[in-house]
Chains A and B, each alone.
Chain A
């Protein structure tokens, strides 16, 4: 699968600020605020590797499809497909509801 096929559609994700596509060998593609961000790539790889080892009792599959690292102003959404890790940095528009 060439890089264009991997990244096509990632830049159309709503509120996206950047993305990374990572394999076991390293970063395959990066864009936006995550362009060349190998540090974030390393951190996300470690987090998703740890998270994908969790199992709910009686199940053999990881119990989640997407990992979200939620920070104040933005969210890293992470998933794994075909031995590749996809990270998309998105705007966090979910805040404390403001009562007027």
Chain B
């Protein structure tokens, strides 16, 4: 799960009707400039830096997530819905035939001296131990992340 690719560039060739959002964004706040972190307005002095960081992450996430079930239901006629579906599938069909086949990425050269690099001293055991310990800590931390499911994740659009 997650975003594989995103772009802020506007493609001029796109029909504005194609890219019109189906759900109005409930929190129309602009992004902070230069990608800087969103600063939480008031951080109680009693909190540690970690708490403040966690709060800012939560706030940023809440502002960026669109809650489909909470948004005003889109009032669309049945024929409008069918038209939109047809428009999207036509566009997809056009795009899938015109997209170039993805070629496997060429391996970048790591060195011009392969023999020297391969003959060099092996990684010291202490380094390997340290990295293994760090990886174990990270694994332990990640395995403690849990999803607290409260509501349905998938909801229906309200189509009359």
Contact = CB atoms under 8 A, between A and B. Distances in A.
Contact of B107 (A70, A85, A92, A97): A85
B111 interface: yes
A82 B122 contact: no
Interface in B108-124: 108-115, 117-120, 122-124
Interface centre among A10, A62, A66 (most CB of B within 10 A): A66
Contact of B110 (A10, A81, A96, A97): A81
B117 A79 contact: yes
B115 A10 contact: yes
Sort chain A's interface into a size bin.
Answer: 35 or more
Given A94-B124, A96-B125, A83 B107 contact: yes
Interface centre among B109, B113, B114, B125 (most CB of A within 10 A): B114
Given A65-B111, A66-B117, A94-B128, A83 B106 contact: yes
Interface residues of B, number: 20
Decide if the interface of chain A is mainly helix, strand, loop or mixed.
loop
B118 A80 contact: no
A44 B105 CA distance: 16
Contacts of A93: 122
Contacts of B108: 52, 61-62, 80
Nearest to A95: B125
A65 B110 contact: yes
A84 to B, nearest CB: 8
A41 interface: no
B80 to A, nearest CB: 43
Interface string B77-116: 0000000000000000000000000000111111111110
Contacts of B119: 9, 12-14
Nearest to A92: B122
Nearest 6 A/B pairs, CB to CB = A81-B114, A9-B115, A94-B125, A13-B119, A80-B110, A86-B114
Interface of B: 105-115, 117-120, 122-125, 128
24 contacts: A10-B115, A10-B118, A14-B119, A24-B107, A52-B108, A61-B108, A62-B108, A66-B110, A70-B122, A75-B122, A79-B111, A79-B117, A80-B109, A80-B110, A81-B109, A81-B111, A83-B106, A83-B109, A85-B107, A86-B118, A94-B128, A95-B125, A96-B125, A97-B125
